[in-house]
Amino acid sequence: MIKISYIISAIIPTMILTVLFIGLKEKKDIFKLFIDGVIKGLKVIYNIFPYIFAITVVIGLIRSTNALDILIYPIRPILTKLGIDENIVPLFILRPLSGSASTSYVMELFKKLGPDSNPGKIASIIMGGTETTIYCTTILLGAVGIKKARGILIAGLMADFAAIITAILLVNLNIIKI
């Protein structure tokens, strides 16, 4: 019986050999095509770097200045009435902006309250059910030069909002046991 690890190890070399074989069969200059692909890839990186840099700086400023705490303070009474732990609210803001910042926040939350706490369970569902909407929209559409992204952004943020509300309801109403 063939072990799965052998099959997995053979996938990339098989793909490379297949591309080389097809290129030689069709009499294409494989090296030139490779170099052209590298140049196009570098152009994409060059085009999206400013967006990545800007989002990274904004996330750093938000976290280092405690701006999230300032944003949460006025809505604390509403959160309490809705049964939403204020420790989870920064994730609502960070998740659409950055995967790494939200992951870092969730790890801090797990250390502080534990992964089995209600905020820990909600955070886990949010991380699996939402996307880094603003980040992806900015990077992908910015790379191809699309300026009007309002509809895409609104739809993505609405989907994230629905996932957040669902996570809160599932955990607070004990519909899901994690």
Q: What is the pLDDT of residue 69?
A: 78
Per-residue pLDDT of 49-69, as tens digits, reads 887 788 778 877 877 887 877
Whether residue 89 lies inside any domain: the answer is yes
pTM above 0.85, yes or no: no
Q: How many domains does the chain have?
A: 1
Q: Which domain holds residue 107?
A: 48-172
Query: How does DSSP classify residue 174?
Result: T
Whether residue 29 lies inside any domain: the answer is no
Q: What is the pLDDT of residue 166?
A: 92
Whether residue 19 lies inside any domain: the answer is no
**pLDDT tier at 162 (50, 70, 90 boundaries)?**
very high
Sign of CA dihedral 107, 111, 114, 119: negative
Per-residue pLDDT of 13-26, as tens digits, reads 999 899 889 888 98
Q: Does the pLDDT value for residue 168 go beyond 70?
A: yes
| CA triple 162-160-67, angle to 5 deg | 115
